Structure 1
Amino acid sequence: MNTPYETLLVEERADRIVVTLHRPEARNAINGRMISELHAVCDRLEREPKLLLLTGHGEVFAGGADIAELLERGRDEALRGINARLFERVRRLPMPTVAAVDGWALGGGAELTYACDLRIAGPDAVFGNPEPGLGILAAAGACRLLSRLVGESVAKQVLLAGRTLDAATALATGLVIDVVPASVLLEEAHRLLDRMARSSALALRLTKLVVDADGAHPAADDLAQAVLFEGADKKERMTRFLAGRGRP
């Protein structure tokens, strides 16, 4: 990718893009520049769909949004939904997204992981939304998404009571798919992406579209399936399976 990045490390592979949040001087806090650069990544992935892996540099995913910038934001900036618009864009990317999290994922950092389809954690991962302690709320997705991910009771414990979810609790509540040693976190995240990459790209896109659809209707499943039933990829994969030359 040719765009110069100041707050991200971006690696492009044949079937995926790996993005590392990289503001080590600020615990990878999400500032305006990072928001802009992540929009550029989304623009690329919307035009040329690929899998996305998000992670943080060093021993933290993201310590939150940049508090110095938040302090200067007023009503007009809040109504623009600066962080929320980006995170919703990440959530609606056409191909699956994975967040690999070790260390703190707080505030906006946590909300960025909630926007991803899947999360995998290292043993020191901690998720939390301490925004009310700063006089604001978790307005970039947590109030809508967290209850879907972990249930209303746990979400309210995080959002209202300031509870943090360590790696073991995140696994128990279904927030993360697995907890693995930090030394192999990225390796296991890529293994997860490899598993998805072996599936039909179009089937993944349509499955994600149906699952994420607001007010999903059975007809959406039928329409998506109709598209896939007519595709060459389905015929080739099923023919290979029946011939004993492979498996889904």
Structure 2
Amino acid sequence: MLVDSYSHAFEALAIEEREDRVHVSLNRPVVRNAIDATMVAELHAVCAYLERTPKILIISGTPADEATGRKGIFASGADIGQLRERRREDALAGINSQIFDRIHKLPMPVIAAIDGFALGGGAELAYAADFRIATESVKLGQPETNLGIIAAAGALWRLKELVGEPVALELVLAGRILDAQEALELKLVTEIHPAADLVNAAHALADRIGAQDPLAVRITKRVFHMPREAHPHVDELAQAILFESQAKFDRMQAFLDKNAAKKAAKEQQ
């Protein structure tokens, strides 16, 4: 179990683990889930575990709390207090970019369940996921240039791939903030849900992924992100591996048996 393999209690993250998935909730609500050094270190611990024990990863923020009036939030960005003190060597170390890239490269799919603000590094964390679902109150954007820096943890290249260059430039140069409908129309998010249903929707998506053959999912994710010049050769090599897997024989035989049973039942009518 993840919580048992980590050397001390998680502080910036809340962890729920199931047989085929890990749900990580960003858990610094007092500072709107600002991404600080502790959160980065704990996300590295999560990645180390999931690299050894491949499972689907769900990342969400802090849900709304009607009792206190607190709104739901994914992540407001990097911790500005810490960011203010960072210097050249910190930038070259890629503190946030390295963890987001590691998340993106996890063996199994990553789902970002986004409620409320996902700004700056919070948005870049969401971009690193394979799937993004959101609530009606989601706000996505890159305010970095207003703070005298650039969006250096993925937005400057991932956004072009996700929404196209014109919209990406509006986000990174002009401070445009996308609301839920705009993000849905741009396919930056693929589903919109009421806040109370968001985590359940993420688990429903994880259920659909979990129903597939895990090895086929892992290999598909890796091959999908290969450069264009690697295809079709890498596809053929990957298929050669899967053609020898027992799951392929079992699943295809189950498909054939099911079809035969349907045909026999139809003939008896």
TM-score (structure 1 length as normaliser): 0.97
Does residue 163 (structure 1) correspond to residue 168 (structure 2)? The answer is no
- After TM superposition, the structure 1 stretch with the greater mean CA deviation from structure 2, 205-214 or 40-49, is 205-214
2:40 maps to which residue? 35
Which of the residues 135, 138, 145 maps onto 1:122? 135
Select the structure of larger CA radius of gyration: 2
- Identity between Structure 1 and Structure 2 (%): 52
Segments of structure 1 that go 5 or more residues without pairing to the other structure are none
Cα deviation for residue 164 of structure 1 reads 0.9
2:163 maps to which residue? 150
Which of the residues 234, 242, 245 maps onto 1:228? 242
Which residue identity lines up with residue 114 of structure 1 in the other structure?
A: Y
* Inter-partner Cα distance in structure 2 for 1:153 and 1:242: 48
Cα deviation for residue 151 of structure 1 reads 1.0
Number of aligned pairs? 246
Secondary structure at the aligned position of 1:243 is classed as helix
- After TM superposition, the structure 1 stretch with the greater mean CA deviation from structure 2, 217-226 or 19-28, is 217-226
1:9 maps to which residue? 14
Which residue identity lines up with residue 17 of structure 2 in the other structure?
A: E
1:244 maps to which residue? 258
* Inter-partner Cα distance in structure 1 for 2:120 and 2:75: 8
Cα deviation for residue 217 of structure 1 reads 2.1
Which residue identity lines up with residue 154 of structure 2 in the other structure?
A: G
CA-atom RMSD in angstroms: 1.1
Secondary structure at the aligned position of 1:186 is classed as helix
Cα deviation for residue 11 of structure 1 reads 0.8
Cα deviation for residue 148 of structure 1 reads 0.6
Which residue identity lines up with residue 109 of structure 1 in the other structure?
A: G
1:219 maps to which residue? 233
* Inter-partner Cα distance in structure 1 for 2:42 and 2:54: 17
**What is the CA deviation profile of residues 9-54 of structure 1, one whole-angstrom value per residue up to 9, with x for unaligned ones?**
0111100000000001100000001000000000000000000000
TM-score (structure 2 length as normaliser): 0.90
Which of the residues 187, 193, 196 maps onto 1:183? 196
Segments of structure 2 that go 5 or more residues without pairing to the other structure are 64-71, 262-269
2:29 maps to which residue? 24
Structure 1: 4+ residue segments shifted above 3 A: none
